[in-house]
Amino acid sequence: MDDSNKKAIILMGHGSRVPDAGKHMEKVASGLRAKYGYNIVEICYMSRLGPHFPEIFEKCVVQGASEIMVIPYFLHDGLHLVLDIPEMMQEIATRHPNVKLVLGKNLGFDDVLVDLVQRRISASLNHCDVRELDLPPRRQFPVPPGQHEFVPMTPEDAARFLKQNHDHSSH
């Protein structure tokens, strides 16, 4: 993205009920501005606490962006990357025909992750046993109205769910 005045980068994370859960993504956005000179770098979240994609997209347009690249701040190629994020982006793109909206590559795999995980292993060697952790009360992080808690699924249930959905989609 050479013309950084007219182009914007949006890092899109999942979102969390935990305040400041995205502070590291904010640091990455600041690093992109400082190290690579992007003028417009914003962060947003798909769900939970905002800011959310539509408002950050509009913020970029107001700042003069004619091209916006969304980098999904996700490691795995799950449903959010395959369907949820592209659908959300297509919906807003229909309302802004003069703005090029690009779905960039997610974090995925990169050889640098092997070294990063090794750094995390080294940094964790002196951590206490998990039973010694003092956890905050769950009520400190309420589920917003209309949203749901994560529902765990056993591997057997997941296999049945996948088979059932595959059988229905092949008809």
Whether 132 maps to a domain, the answer reads: no
CATH of the domain at 38: 3.40.50.1400
Instruction: Quote the pTM value.
Output: 0.78
Q: 170 lies in a domain?
A: no
Average pLDDT in the 109-122 region?
96
Structural domains in the chain (count): 1
Confirm whether 52 is domain-assigned.
yes
Residue 5 lies in a domain: yes
Instruction: Give Cβ neighbours of residue 106 (< 8 Å, ≥ 6 apart).
Output: 71, 72, 73, 74, 75, 77, 81
For residue 169, tell me if it sits in a domain.
no
pLDDT of residue 1: 44
Tell me how far apart the alpha carbons of residues 143 and 82 are, in angstroms, rounded to a whole number.
Answer: 25
Q: Indicate whether 160 belongs to any domain.
A: yes
Residue 157 has pLDDT above 50, yes or no: yes
Q: Is residue 75 part of a domain?
A: yes
Residue 129 is assigned to a structural domain of this protein: no
Domain range holding 7? 1-123+137-164
Give the number of other Cβ atoms within 10 Å of residue 86's Cβ.
Answer: 15
Residue 144: what pLDDT?
Answer: 66
